Structure 1
Amino acid sequence: MGWVRSVGRGVLVVAVLLAGCAGGAPEPGAGPAGGRGALTFVTAGDLTDYLAPLVAEWNAERPAEPVALVELPDSADETRAQMLSELRSGSRRFDVLNIDVAWTPEFAAAGLIAPLEPERFDLGAFLPPVVGTATFRGRLYAVPYVTNAGLLYYRKDVLDAAGERAPRTWAELARLARTLAPRHGLAGYAGQFLPYEGLTVNVTEAIASAGGAVLSEEGARVGVDSDAARAALAFLAGGVREGWIPAEALRFTEEESRAAFEEGRLLFLRNWPYVYADAGRAGSRVAGRFEAAPLPGPYGPGRSVLGGSNLAVSARSRHPATAADFLAYLTSERVQRQVLTRGSLPPVRASLYADPELVAAHPYLPILRESVLAAVPRPKSARYDQVSLAVQAVAQDVLALRTSPEEGVLRLTRELAAIPHAGRGAPGPAGP
């Protein structure tokens, strides 16, 4: 998922119930009628162990409506597969789901999550772009929980010594990566270019920064046949051809690219906000020597793709009223503050990005706010998994210089057009 790093614990994690009430986990569907009662909250593995205390606080305050926390594998693909399998089987086991922002259209179009009443939640206090990740076909199907946006990390010491600033355009980035980096024994620039979801994100960001889109009209139309897409792929392929994107970057995920920057091998890195704290820790070779800036674009600051997760309610939940209360609790200002301080995850509430205490502890927050406000959702499609695979396959060939950017755009257009973009109408009912 976009709000945690792409590292696993090596094996699938057996789902663990962490009920906060005596007598063990509540049975799904147990409790009083009228939409109120016990809940099961399912999420990917919590790498920072911050969720269990939040659930325990809820359970202490609401002992009649306890929540059991179920942790699935921290692999996004495994989590999605297990959630879909459970929901499609007709099971009522899961009530509240913590889903990647890119999954909301898929789950909504399949009728697996229930539409929500917008007035029930304090959406006006959220950073505006994040709300768009929770809607599909004009309806609210989830509530934003945590967000994320890509940042450009750079060696401030190297740029300062050369009298340079953080690049704001692709041309400035390419010039510094090509000329300044080698003088200091550094590679120029890296993102996440291994063919996986990270590559989809990097390519989508480049296309959006140039003013284009992979899909438009919420997945109803393929929009990638554009000058913007050709410019984006040409920019990335040119970096590989000219050498300022090192060949090893074609094998980088978030963690490999983070390690390369932290070990002092890169001048520039595109990555998520979690890198700021990691690279600043004792033992990092760049601690105190780097900063973060918004991603550059062809003519000025570019646009990131939104990461993060949304909270949704299963269409089969017997306790949707309690579930809505739980969503409001997790997105309250008090809990959102803990999401950042305990979990080191970017919150969705705008006020927290200007909080002096939080900014002192997390200096990247003002830059992240700027990036989130300019960010775009990933392509909305009920077949997002197929869309992402098509983008990865084509982009991999373009970056490996096996296919030209022009040929890549034409091929991607054909492949996206062949995907049945379900969800052109309103999703049907999920059944009794």
Structure 2
Amino acid sequence: MRWMRAAGRALLVAAVVLAGHAGFGVRADSGAADSGAAASAARGPMTLVTAGDLTGYLSPLLDDWNRGHPGERVTLVELPESADETRAQMISELRSGSHRFDVLNIDVAWTPEFAAAGWIAPLERRRFPLDAFLPPVVDTATFDGRLYAVPYVTNAGLLYYRKDILDREGEAPPRTWAELARQARTLAPKYGMDGYAGQFLPYEGLTVNVTEAVHSAGGSVLRDDGAHVAVDSDAARAGLRFLADGVRDGWIPREALGYKEEESRRAFQEGRLLFLRNWPYVYADAGAEGSEVAGRFGAVPLPGPDGPGASVLGGSNLAVSSHARHPASAADLIAYLTSEPVQRQVLTRGALPPVRAALYEDPELVRAHPYLPTLRQSVLSAVPRPKSPRYDQVSLAVQAVAQDLLAGRQTPEQAVARLTRELAAISRKG
């Protein structure tokens, strides 16, 4: 991703305001001395662990916190850029009972797994202004009815399209799968382009694309409890058929079966695709000076069978390690990073979609980031990835089955039957 730079001076004010708030209470029957000792023990220096911060946007935010909290300084620990490597290193430390990490910046799909394993501590709902967040993002931070994290940034898929070409042909951007397939099949070849691509290499992106297709058709992969398989449905078969037919009929190029986010972005940005499913960061890259499609593209919500479809929620949540040395300071840091002034800077400095609902209607921000109203619509209709304490196994099963489906080795009916068996086996392990 490429990020956008901006400046702001409201952060230090927010840090000072938050300094007086504690994240964890003290027993009411404790004596004054014990209460003071407990509060003191719960406060102090800490670490925040995250995947590699490629743009360096996070360090200035933490510098502002540190200036306002000299006794509760936070040290940034950056793990590899790869989500899989980051997750593996986090789990290794947490399983060992290490006190190395206090606050964890985790993928939204990891929250159930980390909570079920006891690696992150439950949080007090009243401590955080959850009503000010976009409602779907709050669900990604809960497990078994309890809050285990706080939404930090969000994400939802968008459909990017060549506005210049559709305007020339007198066409509106597609709202349904049938319209998308027709335009990708008939218009793209006229301009020497491929029709449509998402992220179809077997990795987490493929799980996201498959889950979006299944939910857009009205189905689901697992039930909300994460323990029961729900993929054996006509809706799931319809979602998989949409993708399989696209590859078979050629409006999804076979080259796209090797695409991750960046490969697909480059294909669109270089003028080789009519349509692209990707995340909001593409808007800034594709519109930058030197892009082949700058000023010639638009973005709309993902289509579905009969109208707008469903995106999968991306983004990350902030959680407190069960072995945090200073949990009260850790909770205050999370409150700071999710406060409105800092969330504004998360967008303007890092080009990351915030979780605060009001920011999506802020005129100044909308002028600078024109995709915000569309993204808000996509987030509000988005769904989380399958909730499961064994999400990594669930995702691998989805990827393996979808790979065979898109390669033409299985029909949608066979794929659903196989996925049902494999997900049932994963659930039984619990």
| 1:101 corresponds to 2:108 | yes
| 1:190 corresponds to 2:202 | no
Q: Which amino acid aligns with 1:222?
A: V
Q: TM-score, normalised by structure 1?
A: 0.90
How far 1:422 moved relative to its partner? 6.9
Other structure's SS at 2:53 match: coil
The structure in which a higher percent of residues are helix is: 2
Q: 1:51 maps to what in 2?
A: 58
CA distance in 2, matches of 1:422, 1:84: 19
Q: What number of residue pairs does the alignment pair up?
A: 395
How far 1:302 moved relative to its partner? 0.2
How far 1:87 moved relative to its partner? 0.6
| 1:155 corresponds to 2:150 | no
Q: 1:277 maps to what in 2?
A: 284
CA distance in 1, matches of 2:70, 2:429: 41
What do residues 335-384 of structure 1 show as CA deviations (whole Å, max 9, x unaligned)? 00000001110000000001111111111000000000000000000000
Q: 1:228 maps to what in 2?
A: 235
What do residues 388-424 of structure 1 show as CA deviations (whole Å, max 9, x unaligned)? 000000000000111000000000000000003677x
CA distance in 1, matches of 2:203, 2:76: 28
| 1:165 corresponds to 2:165 | no
C-alpha RMSD of the superposition = 1.2
CA distance in 2, matches of 1:211, 1:262: 31
Other structure's SS at 1:419 match: helix
| 1:358 corresponds to 2:365 | yes
Q: 2:217 maps to what in 1?
A: 210
How far 1:282 moved relative to its partner? 1.1
Aligned match for 2:131, one of 121, 124, 131: 124
Identity %: 77
What do residues 239-289 of structure 1 show as CA deviations (whole Å, max 9, x unaligned)? 011100001000000000000000000000000000000000111110000
How far 1:319 moved relative to its partner? 1.2
Correspondences of 1:7-406 after superposition (within 5 Å): 33-406=40-413
CA distance in 2, matches of 1:317, 1:257: 39
- Unpaired runs of 5+ residues, structure 1, are 6-30, 424-432
CA distance in 1, matches of 2:429, 2:113: 9
Contact 1:188 1:246 in 2 (8 A): yes
What do residues 123-147 of structure 1 show as CA deviations (whole Å, max 9, x unaligned)? 0000000000000010000000000
Q: 2:22 maps to what in 1?
A: none
What do residues 210-253 of structure 1 show as CA deviations (whole Å, max 9, x unaligned)? 11110003211100001111001110000011100001000000
Once structures 1 and 2 are overlaid, which stretch shifts more, 97-106 or 211-220? Answer: 211-220
Q: TM-score, normalised by structure 2?
A: 0.90
> Cα distance 1:252–1:118, how it changes in 2: closer, same or farther (>3 A)?
same
After superposing on structure 2, the runs of 4+ consecutive aligned residues of structure 1 that deviate more than 2 Å are: 31-34, 420-423
CA distance in 2, matches of 1:366, 1:218: 31
Other structure's SS at 2:185 match: helix
Q: Which amino acid aligns with 1:290?
A: F
Contact 1:127 1:348 in 2 (8 A): yes
CA distance in 1, matches of 2:182, 2:108: 34
Q: 1:410 maps to what in 2?
A: 417
Q: Which amino acid aligns with 1:266?
A: L
CA distance in 2, matches of 1:102, 1:217: 13
Q: Which amino acid aligns with 1:407?
A: Q
What do residues 46-93 of structure 1 show as CA deviations (whole Å, max 9, x unaligned)? 011111001100000011111111011111011000000001001111
> Cα distance 1:422–1:44, how it changes in 2: closer, same or farther (>3 A)?
farther
What do residues 159-187 of structure 1 show as CA deviations (whole Å, max 9, x unaligned)? 00111101000000000001111111111
CA distance in 2, matches of 1:285, 1:218: 45
Contact 1:218 1:379 in 2 (8 A): no
- Unpaired runs of 5+ residues, structure 2, are 3-37
Other structure's SS at 1:418 match: helix
